[in-house]
């Protein structure tokens, strides 16, 4: 190695300096660092990985359509990983069947990733990785917390409880729910919380209508609800469907919140600019990404992670929900 020859030391000493080991004398370290600067040497990440068996690379498996939530989680995790000195190789797929996920995991393993994170959007994602046997850590981002691996998520149940409770505290007695897809883990938790809170308050429960997370489905559901009769308050499982509902109400000459109060979920960047601005539950994806990376680091360090890590989203009060007069 040129650096070793110029500095007059062994290549093992150069390696110890590059790995920042504290067994090298200061004078020797200074000679090696001077040689590195003179030769403009850049250490090979591949060679270092072979020597230390650490690639500083993580695998990310993201399932489902490119929706706001999963896409934001993936982006936040990538940022947190870079801050921690890791690069991320991502495998994205619309269908979360076991065969495709196992193929993605196999590809990531061949890339020598140190750990794999799975963003599980629906029950099939969890079922696909149940019993997965690999010799590296696996961490999931899922709201169920019922899988075989350490999981990190935003507390969908607590968030939906707060949303439902807020509408009830405003005096609304008939609080309808526009839910997400039946198979979605987040949608299930939000619907379960809505039901639980209504039961706790002895309020009537009307069967929810399910959309597909899009504004178009929200608008179609809004039209359907208006044909069936009046509605006082709606807890909508995401902001895009809430936007579509508001569109449908406006089409029929109804005003939010004068005629109908609405609370959404996510706090997408556009939520503050709806007409009126949308009251919603904010999901802090940046904070979630850092907690995901912290969990990965803990598992890589051999520390035990026993409980699913969950953070409750805060309620962002704007102008789309009003007290019953």
- What are residue 58's phi and psi, to 5 degrees? -120, 150
User: How many domains are there within the chain?
Assistant: 3
- Do 279 and 168 share a domain, yes or no? yes
Per-residue pLDDT of the chain (325 residues; tens, 9 = 90+): 577 778 787 766 777 777 777 678 888 888 888 888 887 776 554 444 444 457 899 999 987 766 788 889 999 999 999 999 999 999 988 766 788 888 888 899 888 999 999 998 888 888 888 777 788 889 998 887 666 788 899 999 999 999 999 999 999 999 999 999 998 999 999 999 999 999 999 999 999 999 999 999 999 999 999 887 778 999 999 999 999 999 999 999 999 999 999 999 999 999 999 999 999 999 999 999 999 999 999 999 888 776 667 888 999 999 999 999 8
Residues in Cβ contact with 106 at an 8 Å cutoff, skipping those fewer than 6 apart: none
Which pairs from 109-113 meet CB under 8 Å and 24+ separation?
109/59, 109/134, 109/136, 111/55, 111/57, 111/59, 112/49, 112/55, 112/57, 113/55, 113/57, 113/58, 113/59, 113/89
Q: Are residues 181 and 292 in the same domain?
A: no
Q: Among 57, 192, 189, 178, which Cα is nearest to 121's? A: 189
In whole angstroms, what is the distance from residue 261 CA to residue 233 CA?
5
Looking at the fold, whether 91 and 185 belong to one and the same domain comes out as no
CA distances from 256 to 157, 209, 263 (A): 26, 20, 11
Query: What span, in angstroms and rounded, lies between the C-alpha atoms of 68 and 209?
Result: 21
The pair of three-digit structure tokens given for residue 7, joined into one six-digit string = 């500095």
Residue 170 placed within a domain: yes
**Closest listed residue to residue 43, CA positions, set 70, 71, 11:** 11
Residues 262 and 177 placed together within one structural domain of the fold: yes
Q: Is residue 324 part of a domain?
A: no
Whether 200 and 118 share a structural domain: no
Structural domain boundaries, residue 18: 2-43
229 is a domain residue: yes
Instruction: Say if 148 falls within a structural domain.
Output: yes
- Same domain for 14 and 105, yes or no, is no
Q: CA torsion sign, 159 to 162 to 168 to 170?
A: negative
72 shares its domain with 164: no
Residue 183 lies in a domain: yes
Same domain, 141 and 290: yes
| Domain identity same for 171 and 147 | no
Residues 70 and 117 in one domain: yes
Same domain as 236, residue 176: yes
- Please report which residue ranges of the chain form alpha helices under DSSP H: 2-7, 11-18, 26-39, 45-52, 68-83, 98-110, 123-129, 156-169, 185-200, 215-228, 239-251, 285-300
Is residue 99 located within the same domain as residue 192? no
Residue 292's closest CA among 102, 116, 28? Answer: 116
Query: Which CATH number does the domain housing residue 111 bear?
Result: 3.40.50.2300
pLDDT tens for each residue of 256-304 = 999 999 999 999 999 999 999 999 999 999 999 999 999 999 999 888 7
> What is the pLDDT at residue 212?
94
Q: In this prediction, what percent of the chain has a pLDDT beyond 90?
A: 57
């Amino acid at each position: 190695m040129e650096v070793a020859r110029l500095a007059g030391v062994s290549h093992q000493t150069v390696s110890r300096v590059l790995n920042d080991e504290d067994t090298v004398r200061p004078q020797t370290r200074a000679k090696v660092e001077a040689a590195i600067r003179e030769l403009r040497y850049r250490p090979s990440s591949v060679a270092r990985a072979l020597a230390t068996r650490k690639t500083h690379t993580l695998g990310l498996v993201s399932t489902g359509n490119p929706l706001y939530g999963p896409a934001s989680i993936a982006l936040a995790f990538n940022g947190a990983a870079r801050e921690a000195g890791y690069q991320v190789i991502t495998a994205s797929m619309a269908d979360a069947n076991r065969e495709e996920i196992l193929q993605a995991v196999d590809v990531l393993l061949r890339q020598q990733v140190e750990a794999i994170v799975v963003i599980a959007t629906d029950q099939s994602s969890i079922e696909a990785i149940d019993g997965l046997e690999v010799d590296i850590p696996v961490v999931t981002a899922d709201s169920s917390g019922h899988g075989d691996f350490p999981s990190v998520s935003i507390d969908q149940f607590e968030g939906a409880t707060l949303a439902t409770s807020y509408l009830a505290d405003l005096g609304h007695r008939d609080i309808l729910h526009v839910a997400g897809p039946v198979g979605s883990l987040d949608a299930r938790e939000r619907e379960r919380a809505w039901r639980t809170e209504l039961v706790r308050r002895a309020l009537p429960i009307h069967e929810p209508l399910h959309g597909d997370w899009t504004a178009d489905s929200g608008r179609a559901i809004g039209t359907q609800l208006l044909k069936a009769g009046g509605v006082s308050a709606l807890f909508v499982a995401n902001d895009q469907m809430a936007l579509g509902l508001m569109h449908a109400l406006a089409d029929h000459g109804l005003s939010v919140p004068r005629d109908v109060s609405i609370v959404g979920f996510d706090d997408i960047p556009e939520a503050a600019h709806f007409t009126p601005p949308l009251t919603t539950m904010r999901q802090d994806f940046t904070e979630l990404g850092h907690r995901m990376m912290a969990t990965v680091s803990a598992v890589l360090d051999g520390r035990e992670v026993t409980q699913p890590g969950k953070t409750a989203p805060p309620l962002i009060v704007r102008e789309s929900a009003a007290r019953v007069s």
